[in-house]
Chain A
Amino acid sequence: MERKNQNPIVNWIVKSKILGILFFVIIGAFAVYKLGTALFDNPSLFLQQVVNGLQLGFVYALIALGYTMIYGIIQLINFAHGDIFMVGAFASFYSISRYNVHLWFQNLFPSVPVMLAQIIGTVTVILVSMVVCALLAYTIERIAYKPLRTAPRISALITAIGISFFLEYFGALNFVFSPNYITYQRPFAVKSWFVGPSGFGSIESGIAPPAHSIIFSNIFLIIVFASLLLLLVLQYIVKKTKIGKAMRAVAYDKPTARLMGINSDAIISVTFALGAALAGAAGVLYAIAFPQVFFSMGITPGMKAFVAAVVGGIGSIPGAFIGALIMGQAETLSAAYISTPMRDAIAFSLLIVVLLIRPKGIMGETSSEKV
């Protein structure tokens, strides 16, 4: 029996979404007040925290792109994505610690400047991880997702969760990655610089940088450059190439795309591989920034990147990027100015707030093409 609520006040509350808006306004006012006083009290410290947040946000962005692309094409939330990120971090761990891949250019051409050799070495390490992850994701897609193409979406979702657990606990076996927390060797030495009222300079170990300056490291630079570059490459692939056009067509209307002669299975596999390659790159960058690798390291960043993708509007590439940057800032600024143990709670509340106000996410569109 259906019961209609006749109370006009209750109806109005439900229709106008007043609760969500109120919640948003209260939280927003509190955040603005907190951050405003923080900025006013110590502007350089605030900017430094923003820089810290950017570093985190750019890594999340790379992971979030994979979520959003796969969702855009087959409406699957690929829960194994965070674990592919973990495999990427481990691939780079082995290529650095066991095979010295980061030194190949230096060894071949000892006369080139060390910095250039290090950059080339690091890029090689990232590429190796991207290839490993792309192949892994391609295999997973063929084995686990392709047979379920016509099955209900929930089946594919459950399979994704299964793959996620498989990758974690297979990785935890002693002869695979082992269940230990392993210290990660960075492919280059860390170098930091400061910039501020007292000018620009490099930081020597053990000497405090001048007051009121902002510190950034070569890790920050490599993360920002690599992420921006990969984003541009991805945008180019999706918008300008034939395969990108096919991806957009499959996302828009799969049966029609197939009628037009597009091999939609192959396109979906390519999408998986592309997303996984980005996760692999993110794994390397994350391990460089926070140098420790372990079998369950993908869970939390994976979750946060997923939230970032939803906040930005799942299915939208620029949305995932913006969502990830917001996520990075929310996390770092709440750790800095509200409470460190509460950082995750605050970051995830952001998801609830955004969904209350704008269920499609910031850049989400009602029904246009995805990807």
Chain B
Amino acid sequence: MKKNVLLSLVILFALALAACAPAADTAAAEEPAAAAEGDTIKVASLSPLTGPVPTFGESTKNGFMMAVDEWNANGGVLGKQIEPIVEDSQCTADPAVNAANKVIDQDGVHYIVGEVCSSASIPVSEIAEEKGVLMISPTSTNSDVTLNLDGSTKDMVFRACFIDPFQGLVMAKFASDQGYTKAFVMSDQGNDYVRGLAEVFSEKFVEYGGEIVGSETYTGTDTDFSAILTKVADSGAEVLYLPDYYNVINLVAAQAKEKGVTAVMMGADGWDSSDLDLAAADGGYYSNHYSPDDTRDAVVDWVSKYNEAYGSTPDALATLAYDATNLLFAAIEKAGVDDPAAVATAMEGLSYEAVSGTVTFDEYHNPIKSAVVLQVKDGAINFVASVAP
């Protein structure tokens, strides 16, 4: 609890700093004077190039620019060249709103790829919806990005990543594909991310023919999991689904072996951290958006292209930004006109082979696509499978 106070102070301070900083628009200033209206299609990218998570912004910008350059090299969209406008939105509501207003009102764009962070994407999505501009967020997972307050879907807003609970479905399918029939589910009752995943997993695992032999909740400050783990061992579960963050995984995994738990541990992208205790979590599986070790042609091709251009392995942010931008252009091509409302309709019916899987959109404008399953084994994290829902 005391830690939270400290954290919120730090965040407040950071917010104050961010609010004082002038909105950077250096990237836009470098663009040549806009060609006459109608000759080009303008697309804006909003990403946090400065602020708390500049590496997210860098990756997103790289993925975005790569997609734009490829389409331009192939003759553009609808026979017109694409004019990219890159804005810094700092992963924060205020600068993101300023950047969105600037690109819509001054630059006259019809399409926005961004923002990265949900807290910035939500206000931007409201502006996009109001002004009739199509927005696709590469990585914002909060369900409110594409939903209005009354629960209806925003007409003009899409995302390229799946939302959190979707991973529960993927893992339930993976577990039953592996022949497991008995699962035990552990979840932190106070954490929406964890609870959502656990609920979806429990529901889908039963649908796939499995049985939930037990479920237990704990609180975020617990360190002693012996009582629960004893129940897990006693229940005869083959799978222990624990979709929490890595710090909890480290604690539970270290105690599980000591209590004679033989169930295979499974989780979600909260495990994805360099601080995951690889020795304790050995043998465990977790789901994620994307893995550079995926063996599908689209991924191999993308990794080598990106490596050639930027000299590094693309992370999930770069990949999803690339996918989001490609999805947008494919939808414009499909619509046949440079009109955001028509493109939005086209996007709804789109089926596109993206790097992170074949994408179609559900009624909430969330993509339905495959996730990857990774395994912690012998001190490394290995790609296991790409699981389509």
Contact = CB atoms under 8 A, between A and B. Distances in A.
Contact of A183 (B189, B224, B233, B275): B275
Nearest to A219: B258
A346 B172 CA distance: 34
A300 B231 contact: no
A285 B305 CA distance: 51
A205 B231 contact: no
Nearest to B263: A208
Contacts of A159: none
A37 interface: no
B227 A292 contact: no
Nearest to A48: B230
B150 interface: no
A52 B223 CA distance: 13
Q: What 7 A-B pairs are tightest by C-beta distance, nearest first? A: A335-B227, A52-B226, A181-B247, A336-B227, A290-B223, A217-B258, A215-B260
8 contacts: A172-B6, A183-B277, A186-B254, A206-B262, A209-B233, A291-B280, A292-B223, A296-B3
Contact of A179 (B3, B262, B275, B277): B3
Contacts of A335: 224, 227-228
A207 B262 contact: yes
B222 interface: yes
Contact of B255 (A42, A290, A299): A290
Contacts of A336: 227, 230-231
Given A183-B275, A208-B260, A215-B260, A292 B247 contact: yes
Contacts of B26: none
A190 B258 contact: yes
Interface in A182-224: 183, 186, 190, 192, 194, 203, 205-209, 215, 217, 219
Nearest to A206: B262
Contacts of A269: none
A207 B260 CA distance: 8
Given A208-B233, A209-B260, A290-B255, A300 B221 contact: yes
Contact of B262 (A190, A208, A300): A208
A55 B216 contact: no
B234 A42 contact: yes
A340 interface: yes
Given A190-B258, A206-B262, A215-B233, A56 B224 contact: yes
A45 interface: yes
B233 A292 contact: no
B230 A52 contact: yes
Interface residues of B, number: 34
Given A209-B233, A292-B250, A343-B227, 15 more contacts: A52-B230, A168-B2, A179-B3, A179-B6, A183-B277, A192-B257, A203-B260, A290-B223, A290-B255, A299-B2, A332-B224, A332-B227, A336-B231, A340-B217, A340-B227
Contacts of B247: 181, 292
Interface in A303-349: 331-333, 335-336, 340-341, 343-344
B218 interface: yes
Interface in A140-197: 168-169, 172, 179-181, 183, 186, 190, 192, 194
Contacts of B230: 45, 48-49, 52, 336
Contacts of A42: 234
B258 A341 contact: no
B212 interface: no
A340 B228 contact: yes
Interface residues of A, number: 45
Contacts of B216: 340
A45 B251 CA distance: 22
Contact of A55 (B219, B226, B257): B226
B204 interface: no
Given A183-B250, A299-B2, A341 B227 contact: no
Nearest to B189: A341
Contacts of A296: 2-3
Interface string B199-227: 00000000000000000111101111011
A116 B217 CA distance: 39
B259 interface: yes
Nearest to B277: A183
A41 to B, nearest CB: 11
Contacts of A215: 233, 259-260
Contacts of A183: 250, 275, 277, 280
A58 to B, nearest CB: 13
Interface in B1-30: 2-3, 6
A325 to B, nearest CB: 15
A292 B251 contact: yes
Contacts of B260: 192, 194, 203, 208-209, 215
Nearest to B283: A206
Contacts of B236: 208
Interface string A104-146: 0000000000000000000000000000000000000000000
Most buried by A among B3, B6, B255, B258: B258
A295 B6 CA distance: 12
Nearest to A337: B227
A133 B163 CA distance: 47
Nearest to B235: A45
Given A192-B260, A340-B218, A169 B6 contact: yes
Contacts of B283: 206
B272 to A, nearest CB: 16
B163 to A, nearest CB: 26
A341 B2 contact: no
Contacts of A169: 2, 6
B18 to A, nearest CB: 21
Nearest to B218: A340
A155 B12 CA distance: 33
Nearest to B259: A215
Contacts of B231: 45, 336
Contacts of A180: 275
A108 B87 CA distance: 61
A282 to B, nearest CB: 13
